[in-house]
Amino acid sequence: MKTHLFPAFKLTVLCLLLFVVAYPLAILGVAQLAPSQGKVAFIEVDGKIVGAENIGQTFDSDRYFNTRPSAVNYNAAGSGGSNKGPSNPDYLKDVQARIDTFLVHNPTITKANVPSELVTASGSGLDPHISPQGALVQINRIALARRIPTATLVELVKEHTEQPLWGLFGTAKINVLKLNIALDTLH
């Protein structure tokens, strides 16, 4: 029994040290290299916190750029997707309802031009970004609601487009919260 118990005890202690102490400390060290040092970066406007930089939130007014739908209602405590596949009838109904709603609010857009990220939830349910195309298809609606020239809105979208990391990793994206805050500052 001693020949089996002592090695098992040593292996348990080694795993505890490795996975409970060393690994979290290594991840914490890597997080310190990030711009926000692994912490939530809150965005303030006039001294009031209006959201977090990397956590999506809903914008459904015609006066704002809409964000991605969320399977968890943007609850950062419960990140996750719906786990429904593209052949699931309930999922297809949800997506079709989102497409129909989008087309009602954006009558100048055809169904074929609706970017997928505006009608499908992200894997985490918290994605704060949309593609530049996702923002550009909403410009006519916002220009009409706010009485702002479309050229001004196109320029605003260009100014808030974040390019891929080092021009290689990822795709161009726009943080919807930052874009909508900038939209509110236009006169």
Tell me: do 82 and 30 sit in the same domain. no
d(CA 49, CA 77): 18
The answer to whether residue 173 scores a pLDDT higher than 80 is: yes
Q: What is the crossing angle of helices 176-185 and 150-159, to 10°?
A: 130
Query: What does pLDDT average to over the chain?
Result: 87
Closest CA to 58 of 43, 45, 73: 73
d(CA 62, CA 24): 44
d(CA 59, CA 65): 7
Reported as a pLDDT band with limits 50, 70 and 90, residue 187 is low
Domain count, the chain: 2
**β-pair partners for 49:** 44
Tell me, what's the pLDDT at 44? 80
Tell me: do 84 and 119 sit in the same domain. yes
Token code pair at residue 1: 């029994």
Tell me: do 95 and 8 sit in the same domain. no
Closest CA to 126 of 180, 178, 52, 183: 52
Token code pair at residue 150: 């479309």
- The model's pTM is 0.77
Tell me: do 129 and 53 sit in the same domain. yes
Q: What is the crossing angle of helices 150-159 and 139-146, to 10°?
A: 120
Tell me: do 71 and 146 sit in the same domain. yes
Which ranges of 17-66 does DSSP label H, i.e. alpha helix? 23-31
Tell me: do 19 and 77 sit in the same domain. no
Signed CA dihedral, 130, 40, 179, 79: sign only? positive
User: For residue 110, is it left (φ>0), alpha (ψ between -120 and 50) or beta?
Assistant: beta
Q: What is the pLDDT of residues 137-155, one digit of tens each?
A: 999 999 999 999 999 999 9
Domain that holds residue 12: 1-39
Tell me: do 179 and 91 sit in the same domain. yes
Tell me, what's the pLDDT at 143? 93
Closest CA to 123 of 85, 161, 179, 71: 71
Tell me: do 146 and 126 sit in the same domain. yes
Reported as a pLDDT band with limits 50, 70 and 90, residue 52 is confident
